[in-house]
Structure 1
Amino acid sequence: MDSTPPFTWQFNLGRIPVLVEPSFWLMTAMFGLMGSSSWQTVLSWVAVVFVSVLMHEIGHALMAMGLGCDIAGIRLYMGGGLTYFDRTLSRWRDVAVSAAGPLTGFLFGGLMLAVYEFVPPKSYMGYVVLRQLMWVNFGWGIINLLPVPPLDGGHIARGVLGPSRQRIALWLGVITAGGVVALALTFKLFFIGIMFGMFGYQCWQALQVARDIKPLEPVKVAEIEPDALARGWQALRSGHESEAARLGHLALSAAKPGEESNAARDLLAWVALTEGNARAAVSHLEKVQPLEAARPYSLAMAYEAAGLHERALPHALAALEKERTESVTSLAVRLLVKAQRLDEAERTAREFSWKATAKRDTLLADVAVARGDFGAAAALHASIFEAGGNAEDAYQAARAHARAGQGAQASEWLKRALEAGYDDYEELAQDPALAEARSAPEIAERLARRGKGVA
């Protein structure tokens, strides 16, 4: 399944792929509405933030490219922006890349200030746009330099302090974030208070797994790799992707060519997958030497997430031979369905010993849908719902009935889904298969009562 969210905008800036998630527009618009009720001002604000954040990330990308990196992509999302590149950098080069983003913003803001002074706008909206550009590039740039991970200032602080003082850098982030929260609450800037409260909490969590790395003699540098790698996987499993990435890059920098560096690249690929950056995951795994040494399951997951299903399938089948687990089997069946190898997909799903039959039946329902046997798919989803009571299963049963032309059953199962707590009203509003079912008077009334207006 492609991990890219629906309605994502993707384009290229030269050699740099850019991905803009819907959450970026939503959060930017909400932030704009907090300061203005004029739709023109909010619209200009969204455009200004888009251009400014993109310029900021381009600054990171150009610096990284100048230091010999390949750029896997730029991602704009609810939390701002991220630039992905394909290799670890030395400590001070990494600091330079982190500082390049805010510096680019300051330069861009300075250009806007010069325009404002020497070519003053003649319209009110021109004045508004220039003020917004200066505020975002100067104001946000200064905030972004605060020593709080995951802001650039936090990365710079960690780089300046070095691997032997990482806990000091995290404590600095906790203390700074706490000070900003206190100021924000004093001036009733609740959004900033919530944001830095989250940053401070993340730093506090990272302190639980972070450990300072003492400088080692060159002959002992390899001793750091197994520990860093193990702690990287621990951090990733605990949900601390940034710490896992740091440890993965550390392991890679200390690794010998071959098995050690390949293991570090596997960790970095899974960090990228967790962050939703399939292209970076593929880039890491395709640098494994030789490529055949890459873990088949990792390759299959990365290719699937990147939408390269044909390239993913052979690796998924190879993984199935080596590690026959539920995750590997599910992946293999999904890809076999994509390839229309439906008999093989069904056989693979039925032959595996599942801990819960619901997982098997969900996959068998996907096979039935691919065959056009919507009645069988509806029966499977209904059985799964009766066993577990998950609203999503009732919704899928309604979809399958609708696609089978069974309108009455579709309406009944859609009602059961709503009663069980199904609440993805946007999906329901846009689902063409359920157009007739959701227009039924009783269901339309239910939806109207919930105030969603999707009937």
Structure 2
Amino acid sequence: MHFRFLKISISIDLSYWIFLLLVIGSIGPYSEGLLWAGVFTFSILIHEYGHALMALFFGAQPTIVLQAFGGRTIFNESHVTDKQNFLITLAGPAFQGLFALMAYLLLQFNIFSGYLLNYLLFVTMYINSRWLLLNLIPIAPLDGGWLVRYILEKKFGRKGYLTSIIIGLAAAAIAIPWFYFQGYHWFFIMQLFICGWHYCKLWQKEQESS
């Protein structure tokens, strides 16, 4: 599936639909699963549009791709500086944080009286707040990992890069069991496991080249 919105091309891969069916099937009643899947998809787009709109602002021609385990924003990195790349990365969590905050405030001030709308706001707040917390863990390819790596590498060079790998490995070792015992969905745990495995390979590569 392909479409454009706000001058940004969006592509939804078949793997995303398969993944979404697995998510729906693990939630409970079919109608509730569809609601969660809808909010989940919209939340991904909000997050990715944060990246994409900032990239568009810098003239980097962004494209959003939804695929299994989430989404990613592809843009022409040769057209942006390191600082602009940092801001593009930061914009995704910022958009998602504002989205979660909006849902929270609407719930707190009881703007809507209907049960369905309030439940929709709760699901929106729940998914985005938890996803935001996950996404800011300092381990790439999560945004928190890229942000920490940029800051450390900018200040300390190669030593900063190696430090970011160590931080990422420690973050994965702590976060995986913590998120599990906090009752996070298997989707979040799987993402962390993949990220941790990626950092293990990075550390192994650095050890072999040193």
Q: Which residue of 2 aligns with 1:12?
A: 4
| Equivalent AA in structure 2 for residue 155 of structure 1 | W
1:26 is displaced (CA, Å) by: 2.9
Amino acid at match of 1:45: W
CA shift digits 1:383-426 (9 cap, x unpaired): xxxxxxxxxxxxxxxxxxxxxxxxxxxxxxxxxxxxxxxxxxxx
CA shift, 1:108, in A, is: 1.5
Measured in 2, the distance between the counterparts of 1:193 and 1:116 equals: 28
Q: Percent sequence identity over matched residues? A: 24
Tell whether 2:112 aligns with 1:121: yes
Distance 2:206 2:4 in 1: 36
2: CA distance between counterparts of 1:100 and 1:39?
33
Task: Flag the 1:210–1:85 CA change in 2: closer, same or farther, 3 A.
Answer: farther
1:295-320 Cα offsets, whole Å, 9 max, x none, are xxxxxxxxxxxxxxxxxxxxxxxxxx
| 2:197 maps to 1:205 | no
In structure 1, C-alpha distance between the alignment counterparts of 2:15 and 2:121, rounded to whole Å: 25
Kept in 2: contact 1:25–1:46 (CA 8 A): no
- Distance verdict in 2 for CA 1:140–1:210, change over 3 Å: same
Other-structure match for 1:133: 124
Q: What displacement does 1:189 show?
A: 5.0
Alpha-carbon contact 1:184-1:193 (below 8 Å) kept: yes
Task: Indicate how the Cα distance of structure 1 residues 105 and 202 shifts in structure 2: closer, same or farther if over 3 A, else same.
Answer: same
Letter in 1 for 2:140: P
Q: Is the 8 A contact 1:147 1:176 kept in 2?
A: yes
CA contact (8 A) 1:29 1:42 kept: no
Distance across 1 between alignment mates of 2:182 and 2:125: 22
Checking the alignment, whether the CA contact within 8 Å between 1:178 and 1:197 is kept in structure 2 is: no
**Of residues 90, 97, 105 in structure 2, which corresponds to 1:99?**
90
Q: Distance in 1 between matches of 2:20 and 2:112?
A: 24
Aligned to 1:64: 55
Aligned length: 202
Distance 1:117 1:188 in 2: 24
Q: Which residue identity is paired with 1:170? A: I
Q: CA deviation at 1:102?
A: 0.6
1:41-95 Cα shifts (integer Å, max 9, x gaps): 1111111011111011111011112223222x10011121111111333332222
Counterpart Cα distance in 1 of 2:184 and 2:130? 15
Q: Distance in 2 between matches of 1:153 and 1:119?
A: 33
Query: Which of 10, 19, 34 is equivalent to 1:27?
Result: 19
Secondary structure class of the residue paired with 2:137: coil
Distance in 1 of aligned mates of 2:74 and 2:100: 24
CA distance in 2, matches of 1:78, 1:184: 20
| Change in 2 beyond 3 A, CA 1:86/1:194 | closer
Return the index of the structure with the highest Cα Rg. Answer: 1
DSSP 3-state at the match of 1:68: coil
1:112 pairs with 99, 103, 106, which one?
103
Equivalent residue for 1:146? Answer: 137
Aligned counterparts, 1:304-319, within 5 A: none
Q: CA–CA distance in 2 between the matches of 1:206 and 1:43?
A: 38
CA distance in 1, matches of 2:161, 2:178: 26
2:73 corresponds to: 83
- Give the number of the structure with larger relative contact order, counting CA–CA contacts within 8 Å between residues 6 or more apart: 2
Report the Cα distance in structure 2 between the residues aligned to 1:187 and 1:117, rounded to whole angstroms. Answer: 24
- 1:50 is aligned, of 37, 41, 52, to 41
Q: Which runs of 5+ in 2 are unaligned?
A: none
With structure 2 as the length reference, what TM-score do the two structures score? 0.86
Note the residue ranges of structure 1 that are not aligned, 5 or more in a row.
1-8, 212-230, 232-455
Partner Cα separation in structure 1 for residue 149 and residue 206 of structure 2: 12
**Partner SS state of residue 122, structure 1:** coil
Query: 2-side partners of 1:188 and 1:16: how far apart?
Result: 35
Please report how far the alpha carbon of residue 190 of structure 1 lies from its aligned counterpart in structure 2 after TM superposition. 7.4
Alpha-carbon spacing, 1:154–1:87, altered in 2? closer, same or farther (3 Å): same
Do 1:166 and 1:210's aligned partners in 2 also have CA atoms closer than 8 Å? no
Counterparts of 2:138 and 2:190 in 1: how far apart (Å)? Answer: 17
